[in-house]
Amino acid sequence: MVLAQILLNGILLGGLYGLMALGMALVWGVLNIVNLAHGALIMLGGYVVYYLFTLGGIDPFLALPIAMVVMFCAGFALQWGLLNLVVRSKMLNTLLITFGLDVVLTFTAQLLFSADFRTINPSYAGSNFPLFGLTVPIVRLAAFGVAVALAAALWFVLNRMPLGRAIRATAQNLVAARLYGVNPRVLYAVTFGIGTALAGAAGGLYGMISNLTPYIGASLTAKSFVIAIIGGLANPFNVILGGIFVGVAESLTALYLGPTYTDVISFGLLVVVLVLRPKRAVRAA
């Protein structure tokens, strides 16, 4: 029964991990930018939801759409005013500029919010219910549901809407997309805005199950990178499955080896994927 509970917790946590990686996978797949500031954007989304809850009295789950709109606008502005300048340059340049952006966002957050630990604690934060002898945490279950719903929404946009077809066309053949009237500058900004909005939603959910500080970004970026490689960049549901895989692996590691080794197993999985399926990494890069 303990093993079943650990597996359940890993699956629920993995859904949130998958949502964290969705935005990175989208931006990486379309813009070919490995966004090293992705974790900082997740962190900022968490703070937006935190202050909407603590100062505005808005339920955290109801605050998620507001946070997504705020983060979309921030992401659109960042891409339009900054990243579009280097979007077609060498990957090293994009890595350097997003790393610099991560540093700026992290220390700006420290100045604005301090380095204190903060948690989004609604009245139902510790609530759970029994299911077949297992304990199901309500917040984690709801976070998992939101992650799957947003993955489904992203899949629908990419595969059934004109905007999504333009995004996929631009990712596959920029010259052909331009011939059909696509404005890459605008489309890149919209794509980055969507990825940032997804990061904002992930940050709000993360703040309900863990602590928010300005310094969580680096570890969340690394975890998102691992999941994007494992799940691939083409299908949002595969990214969610990649997150579940990592979440279960971390939970089992914490059970049998201790919580100290959870990050080790994440990067161990990345090494295994790169050794066994190197073409996946080549296609991603």
Phi, psi of 114 (to 5 degrees): 70, 175
Crossing angle for the helix pair 38-54 and 184-209, to the nearest 10 degrees: 60
More confident residue, 88 or 230: 230
Distance CA 66, CA 74 (A): 13
Distance between terminal CA atoms of the chain?
41
pLDDT of residue 280: 54
Least confident of 43-52, 173-182, 236-245: 173-182
**pLDDT of 178 higher than 70:** yes
pLDDT tens sequence across 66-92: 999 999 999 999 999 998 888 777 878
Instruction: Look at the chain and report how many structural domains it folds into.
Output: 1
Are 218 and 102 in contact by the 8 Å Cβ rule? The answer is yes
- Helix, strand, coil shares, percent, the chain, to 5: 80, 5, 20
Query: Would 100 be classed as within a structural domain?
Result: yes
* 183-204: average pLDDT: 94
Are 24 and 35 in contact by the 8 Å Cβ rule? The answer is yes
Are 106 and 215 in contact by the 8 Å Cβ rule? The answer is yes
Query: Would 59 be classed as within a structural domain?
Result: yes
Helix (H) or strand (E) holding 270, with range, is helix 262-276
Are 259 and 210 in contact by the 8 Å Cβ rule? The answer is no
Are 201 and 76 in contact by the 8 Å Cβ rule? The answer is no
Between vectors from CA 136 to CA 133 and to CA 141, what angle results, nearest 5°?
150
Are 242 and 231 in contact by the 8 Å Cβ rule? The answer is yes
Q: What is the torsional sign of CA 108, 82, 52, 222?
A: negative
pLDDT of residue 169: 82
Q: Grade residue 282 by pLDDT with cuts at 50, 70 and 90.
A: very low
* 223-236: average pLDDT: 87
**pLDDT of 269 higher than 90:** no
Query: Would 134 be classed as within a structural domain?
Result: yes
What is the residue range of 75's domain? 18-217
* 42-52: average pLDDT: 97
Query: Would 22 be classed as within a structural domain?
Result: yes
As beta bridge partners, residue 212 has 118
Are 1 and 206 in contact by the 8 Å Cβ rule? The answer is no
Residues above pLDDT 70, as percent of the chain: 96
Distance CA 243, CA 226 (A): 9
Mean pLDDT of all residues belonging to the chain: 89
Distance CA 150, CA 179 (A): 31
Are 226 and 267 in contact by the 8 Å Cβ rule? The answer is yes
Query: Would 250 be classed as within a structural domain?
Result: no
Query: Would 213 be classed as within a structural domain?
Result: yes
Query: Would 68 be classed as within a structural domain?
Result: yes
Distance CA 211, CA 117 (A): 6
* 152-162: average pLDDT: 93
pLDDT tens sequence across 4-20: 899 999 999 999 999 99
Query: Would 55 be classed as within a structural domain?
Result: yes
**pLDDT of 277 higher than 90:** no
**pLDDT of 285 higher than 70:** no
Least confident of 136-150, 156-170, 208-222: 156-170
